[in-house]
Amino acid sequence: MRLAARILTALALILLTPGSALAGGRRTHMVAKGQTLGMIAHRYHVSIAALCHANGIRRRDPIRPKQKLVIPSPGDDDGSKAAQARRDHEARDAHDGHSAKLPHSAGLQVLAVPGAPPAYYYTPIGRGRLSLRPVIMYLHGRGGHPASDCQRWAPVARRLGWLVCPSGQEDRGNGARGWNNNWAAGHNVVMATLQALRKKYGHRVQLYGNTLIGFSEGAYVAMNVGVREPRAFNRWLILAADSDYWGAAGLEALQHRRHRVRRVYLITGQHDGVAESTLHVRQWLRKAGVPVHISRPKDMGHEVQLERKRPMYRAALVWLARGSAHPRHRVAKHSKHHQGRHR
């Protein structure tokens, strides 16, 4: 009887400890002093890699007491379902205006944009962060969550300048946004977002010579805004570029403004349905005399693999911003450095 009582007492203590809870249908754990990722992973019978993926962190990232971690559910072997649930939860919180800074976001903030939905952004970090810095603007794909997408891009882009993620004008429900196949309306959102950031932070925000990133439907908007606003955005990182995104008017704009476009980097997976179309876009850019580089990962489809291929995306942005080395060399260097690291 004494043994049974001890077992019941121990179970009660485990259940009452502030370390674990079920929040909004998501299993979470509050880090206690002295705990490590390995200890927490062992406790919940998940891998460290899955735990890291679920929370958007790396093995060597420090964890703090009272930090809340999302725990993958049984069957979520790589933590991808937990990661998506976390991003959706944070995006809903931000979209509903619950907080100007989201949990787990390490500085993600909300920007009010006149005449448009709110945008999400990170201030620059590192040397020169308080001086004039360029803007890196990410345009999400159809059904994307701009808040959580911005969080994913932060480790890649934030040291290079302001990271800003506008929301498409189409509300697709539960925090998801789209551009409604309307690049002209997206054009208004992009420029209004840039002006709103400038109004808030003044001359710390660069108005000209910035970088546009676009994925899928966001690439459609980025390609069309880029050729019409090459003074504001003369560097583009286009993910899953499709030649259908430029009609005759787009190609005409490219010809008229090609001298203002500094550099373009294209990334499209070889298993993406627009892989061949991306080659046509490269051909048009080369014909216009625009410096262009392309990466076609063999293990990618229509997707953005920021967590798994972070060095590739960072190398692309460094090439666009500085042009100090061939991007492939940088990717090789970073890949070797990041071997074993854990979208």
Please answer whether residues 236 and 261 qualify as being in contact, where contact means their C-beta atoms are separated by less than 8 angstroms.
yes
- What local confidence, expressed as pLDDT, does residue 53 receive? 84
Q: How many CA atoms are closer than 13 Å to the CA of 185, on its beta-carbon side?
A: 13
- What local confidence, expressed as pLDDT, does residue 229 receive? 97
Q: How far, in Å, are 21, 113, 235 from residue 48 at the CA level?
A: 19, 39, 37
Instruction: At 284, list the tokens.
Output: 């048009």
- The structural domains of the chain, ordered by start, are 13-75 (3.10.350.10), 86-337 (3.40.50.1820)
Q: What is the C-alpha to C-alpha distance for residues 211 and 264, in angstroms, rounded to an integer?
A: 9
- What local confidence, expressed as pLDDT, does residue 61 receive? 74
> What DSSP element (H or E) covers 237?
strand 233-239
Give me the residue label for tokens 């754990």: 29
Q: How far, in Å, are 158, 237, 276 from residue 295 at the CA level?
A: 22, 11, 13
Percent helix, strand, coil in the chain, to 5, is: 45, 15, 40
Find the largest Cα–Cα distance for the chain: 87
Sheet architecture: strand order including 20-23: 20-23, 26-30, 68-70
Q: What single-letter DSSP state applies at residue 72?
A: P
- Exposure letters 199-210 (e unless 16+ CB within 10 A, then b): eeeeebbbeebb
Q: Is 282 exposed, middle or buried (0-12, 13-18, 19+ CB in 10 A)?
A: buried
- What local confidence, expressed as pLDDT, does residue 89 receive? 66
CA quadruple 296, 298, 299, 302: dihedral sign? positive
pLDDT along the chain (343 residues), means of 10: 51 43 68 91 92 81 83 88 73 45 63 96 90 97 95 94 97 92 97 97 96 98 97 97 95 94 97 96 97 96 93 96 51 36 29
- What local confidence, expressed as pLDDT, does residue 46 receive? 93
Dihedral angle of Cα 47, 90, 189, 144, to the nearest 10 degrees: 40
